[in-house]
A and B are shown apart, each in its own frame.
Chain A
Amino acid sequence: MPKQKKRKLGRGVAIVGGAMSHFGMYPDKTSRDLMAEAYADALETVDKGIDPRDIEALYIGNFTADLFEGQGHLGHIMADWLGLAPRPATRVEGACASSGLAFREAVMAVASGMYDVVLAGGVERMTNAPTENVQDYLAAASDVPFEVDQAAFTFPGLYAAMGTAYMARYGTTREHLMHVAVKNHQNGALNPRAQFNSSLRDIMEQRAKRAEEKGRPIPTWGDEFDFLSDDSVNPAVAEPLHLFDCSPVTDGASCIIVAAEEVAREYTDDLVTVAASAQASAGPFTAWGGDITGIPSARIAGRDAYEMAGVGPEDIDFAEVHDCFTTAEIMAIEDLGFFEPGKGAFGSAEGLTSRDSDRPINVSGGLKSKGHPVGATGVAQLQEVWTQLRGRAGDRQITHKDLRLGLTHNVGGTGGTSAIHILERK
Chain B
Amino acid sequence: MDLTVAGYMKELSEYRIAASRCNDCDALYLPPRPICPNCQTRNMSVEQLSGEGEVAGLTSISIVPSAMASRGYGRKNPYVTGVVVLKEGPSLTARIELPDDVEEIQSRVGMPVKASFEDETDGDETRVTLVFRPS
Expressed in whole angstroms, the Cα–Cα distance for A148 and B127 within the complex equals: 13
Q: Contact check: which of B83, B89, B110 meets A168 at CB < 8 Å? A: B110
User: Which listed residue, B31, B60, B63, B105, touches A146 by the CB 8 Å rule?
Assistant: B31
B48 within 8 A of A: no
Contact A292 B60 (CB under 8 A): no
User: Closest A-chain residue to B110, C-beta based?
Assistant: A168
Contact A285 B83 (CB under 8 A): yes
**Hey, what's the 0/1 contact readout for B40-70 against A, CB within 8 Å counting as 1?**
0000000000000000111111111111110
Q: Given the complex of chains A and B, what is the CA–CA distance between A291 and B85 in angstroms?
A: 9
Q: Which of A151-159, A205-213, A363-371 lies at the interface?
A: A151-159
Asked whether, in the complex, the Cβ of B60 is within 8 Å of the Cβ of A151, the reply is: no
Q: Are B66 and A157 in touch, CB under 8 angstroms?
A: no
* B93:A153 contact, CB within 8 angstroms: yes
Residues of chain A within 8 A of B22, CB atoms compared: none
Q: Does B94 contact A (CB under 8 A)?
A: yes
- A123-150: CB near B (< 8 Å → 1, else 0) gives 0000000011101100100010111111
CB <8 Å contact, B58 and A235 = no
A161 within 8 A of B: yes
The answer to whether A157 touches B81 (Cβ under 8 A) is yes
| Cβ-defined contact, B58 with A154, below 8 A | no
- Assess the A285–B85 pair: CB atoms within 8 A: no
Chain A residues closer than 8 Å to B129, beta-carbon distance: 150
- The answer, yes or no, to whether B91 is at the interface (CB within 8 Å) is yes
* Total contacting residues, chain A, CB less than 8 A: 45
Which residue of chain A has its CB nearest to the CB of B128? A150
Inter-subunit contact B91/A154 (CB<8 Å): no
Min CB–CB distance A286 → chain B (angstroms) = 5
Task: Give 1 or 0 for each of A234-264: 1 = CB within 8 Å of chain B CB.
Answer: 0111111100000000000000000000000
A84 sits at the interface (CB 8 A): no
Chain A contacts with B in 60-89, Cβ cutoff 8 A = none
Known pairs A150-B129, A237-B63; list 7 more (Cβ under 8 Å): A150-B95, A151-B94, A161-B58, A165-B109, A168-B110, A235-B62, A290-B83
Task: Please list 10 pairs of residues, one from A and one from B, whose beta carbons are closer than 8 Å in the complex, sorted by A's number.
Answer: A131-B63, A136-B66, A156-B63, A161-B57, A161-B58, A164-B58, A164-B82, A239-B60, A286-B90, A290-B89
Interface set of A (CB-CB < 8 Å, partner B): 131-133, 135-136, 139, 143, 145-154, 156-157, 160-165, 167-169, 235-241, 283-292
User: Footprint of A on B, CB under 8 Å?
Assistant: 5, 9, 30-31, 37, 56-69, 75, 78-79, 81-83, 85, 89-95, 104-110, 127, 129-130
What 3 A-B pairs come out closest when comparing CB atoms?
A165-B57, A168-B109, A160-B59
